[in-house]
Amino acid sequence: MSKISVYTREAFGGRAVNLNHDVRDLEQEGFNNAIASLKVIGEPWVAYYDKNFAGKQLMFEAGEYATLAVDRGKFSSLKMVSDDLANPEIQLFEFINYQGRTVTLRNEANLPNILFSDKASSHKVISGVWILYDGINRKGDQLIAFPGDQVPNYGPLNFDNKASSVRPLLPRP
């Protein structure tokens, strides 16, 4: 069974709650903007900075996170990843509205290394769940992309309007 345990203090201290379902509004659980550490068992979870799975996003895969950066605990909703992770595929576009050069990926990539520079500004997810980063080597802000997502412009999502690296979530062994 997959679950996320959230705590109000670092190192798994303070008030705690175990969740095994999506939470659109952490205020209802008494944890809005109050998570200082967490543990993930099983499937990955996405933490959203706004209610109703909106705003900036951060992926947490199975493991323990004893300390979250100051702004990293300001979450307002949580969603468990339950999508099929087999055979991931994403189509990236150089410009907004699916314009310019395009590349289809099935594996992790730093875009400058595949001569696509830092120019991915829109995408379509064919399959799998993908994490797009605004920096190379899994650095910077994240944008989580689910199967069927079609995002014509990163600007309104506070994602700096470009992706520099991408990786698919892989099925657990």
Last residue of a domain, one of 48, 80, 112: 80
Domains of the chain: total? 2
DSSP state of 88: -
The pLDDT, as a whole number, for residue 73 is 67
Digit-coded pLDDT (tens) for 82-116? 999 999 999 999 999 999 999 999 999 999 999 88
Q: Full-prediction pTM beyond 0.85? A: yes
Last residue of a domain, one of 54, 80, 106: 80
Structure tokens at 64: 């323990």
Q: Which residues span the domain enclosing 63?
A: 3-80
DSSP state of 28: G
Digit-coded pLDDT (tens) for 142-151? 999 999 999 9
Residues 10 and 76 occupy one common structural domain: yes
Could you give the C-alpha distances from 148 to 2, 32, 101, 131, 158, in angstroms and in order?
A: 23, 29, 20, 14, 21
Tell me the CATH number at 140.
2.60.20.10
- 33: three-class secondary structure by DSSP: coil
Residues 10 and 75 occupy one common structural domain: yes
